[in-house]
Chain A
Amino acid sequence: EVQLVESGGGLVKPGESARLSCEASGFTFNRASMNWVRQTPGGGLECVAFISSDERYIFYADSVKGRFTISRDSAKNSLFLQMDSLRGEDTAVYFCAREGIGFGGFMDYWGRGTLVTVSS
């Protein structure tokens, strides 16, 4: 059974950093491209970062470029999101999502998410 479990969320002050983790199981992690997607309190979904299975391709949303860094560790079956210089508008539930293996773009498995609240 495919499982994605996010962790690392919490309350952080503006300008501070946080590191999210996503532990994957039930599939061959190093064959899958992965995404971080966030959902704001209003319900909108935004793709914030993508990393290909071989790490050759990394993309970011303009809203986080230069502040967030996506990475992965295949030995640990884990995906990470380093978030620096956090702002109030980064407050959201952050989901880890797997792209369909052998396909591109749609996300066939999602975690339950971890809430990041940026507030003083």
Chain B
Amino acid sequence: DIQMTQSPYSVSASVGDTVTITCRASQSITKWLAWYQQKPGKGPKLLIYKASDLQSGVPSRFSGIGSGTEFTLTISSLQPDDFATYYCQQYHNYPYTFGQGTKLEI
């Protein structure tokens, strides 16, 4: 199985800040990477797919970049609604695997 490693495990930030989360794959996944946001008691919400394509309805302050084994999610101008846990997921092959999550805290 492809291992996905996220960093940092948690990050503290303030409204208006810019935050970057990194995800590394144990082997090349080309651009088959998605990013999700999850809040307590809810299922994950898709933010980005194919490494950099923004899901419909997701604010443009979310952006993704990367290919191969290294990817980043950047959230610019943090809003109060952005404080949540973020996961990356590879879909290069099954089983699809997730990073361990990054908790974004105030």
**Which residues of A line the B interface, CB within 8 A?**
4, 35, 43-47, 50, 59, 61-62, 95, 97, 100, 103-113
Contacts and interface: CB of A to CB of B under 8 A. Distances in A.
B77 to A, nearest CB: 25
Contacts of A100: 49
B43 A113 contact: yes
Contact of A110 (B44, B50, B91): B44
Interface of B: 1, 32, 34, 41-46, 49-50, 55, 85, 87, 89, 91-92, 94-98, 100-101
Contacts of B45: 110
A106 B91 contact: yes
Contacts, number: 61
Contacts of A50: 94, 96
Nearest to B33: A106
A46 B98 contact: yes
A99 to B, nearest CB: 9
A109 B85 CA distance: 17
B97 A103 contact: no
B44 A106 contact: no
Nearest to A60: B95
Contact of A45 (B41, B42, B44, B92): B44
Contacts of B42: 112
Q: Please give me the 3 A-B residue pairs with the lowest Cβ-Cβ distance, nearest first.
A: A105-B91, A110-B43, A106-B34
Given A106-B89, A108-B55, A43 B101 contact: yes
Contacts of A47: 94-98
15 contacts: A44-B100, A45-B44, A46-B98, A47-B94, A47-B95, A47-B97, A59-B95, A95-B43, A106-B46, A106-B91, A107-B34, A107-B44, A109-B46, A110-B44, A110-B45
Contacts of A35: 96
